[in-house]
Structure 1
């Protein structure tokens, strides 16, 4: 983070900006990784977000609920970058998930198959549904929090979550007792 801040030459504001953002960095990276699927893309998304936040530092200080506001900003940056990438389909990234799938890093064959099935099913969802499932079912955000983060009415979120889960059920054959869950 300090490397990014020093790049922008913000020595005087470094302490105050970092103090605001630092408590949320690991969670922001985790969510960015869930959105993008690769470490490289998550780092790019997070860097883009930090660059944006530096320009909005005064507004950042006025926000009462910083975590949902940051998640909303991250989501908006993800959607913007996703749409930009969709408009440039001929450009191939070396870290594209077709080249380096997320599930290839696991050693256990059974875990590989489970992760592959979940990863494939998640890719069947739209970007909004994937974000909603990741934030609600994986990260544990409540629907009212997500309504604020995503700026979508609560009823719309409920129906979208229901449709996303229905789609996942159609594409995932795993049963809960079959999952090899790791507890850290």
Structure 2
């Protein structure tokens, strides 16, 4: 009889620690996996693995970055188990058949037809260009520029120095800029406007 209240107490303590961070963990998992189902599975795997480690969770000072680091490691382990498959998007390594286009989910601040036309034109181009980045580069750009993570948090979660995050982010943005310019350039190599 004394065992049941102990379990409830442990469960409640665990929920109180983890529940406030589940939404952030899911968003991070979605950026990594690229699909709702895979992101949910990834978060669930992490939560199940952490439940027996309640005492360790309670001793962590900044739980959010710690949980995201555990989530990232779990994702990397899943990718490694699937085997190395070249420089393909991470979402394809998990299950690339129904890759959700995150650009299509972004809402335009302007509701006019010009904004819709521009989004329709740029969305697929930006998506193609992002897919040419390595998985690490794409994750870095999505975390910082799309999800709004601070560079310090990215460095902590990915376990790399802050200077490395800054330089990689700078290089990724420069590559994206060049590739977007090439994709959107109306003039062909011959110097004439493309037909």
Tell me, yes or no, if structure 1 residue 100 matches structure 2 residue 98.
Answer: yes
Distance 1:52 1:60 in 2: 12
1:148 partner SS: helix
Shift of 1:121: 2.4
Distance 1:134 1:104 in 2: 10
Q: Which runs of 5+ in 2 are unaligned?
A: 1-6, 87-91, 106-115, 185-195
- Counterpart of 2:69 in structure 1 is 72
Alignment: residue pair count: 161
- Aligned ranges for residues 78-93 of structure 1 at < 5 Å? 78-87=75-84
* Greater gyration radius: 2
Deviates more, 1:143-152 or 1:58-67: 143-152
Distance 2:168 2:69 in 1: 17
Distance 2:139 2:102 in 1: 22
**Structure 1 residues 158 and 88, CA gap change in structure 2 (3 angstroms):** closer
Runs of 4+ with >4 A deviation: 104-113
RMSD: 2.9
- Counterpart of 2:160 in structure 1 is 152
Shift of 1:42: 0.7
TM-score by length of 1: 0.73
Shift of 1:128: 1.9
TM-score by length of 2: 0.70
- Aligned ranges for residues 1-184 of structure 1 at < 5 Å? 11-87=8-84, 96-97=95-96, 99-103=97-101, 106=104, 111=119, 113-173=121-181
Shift of 1:115: 3.3
Distance 2:146 2:34 in 1: 14
Q: Which runs of 5+ in 1 are unaligned?
A: 1-9, 176-184
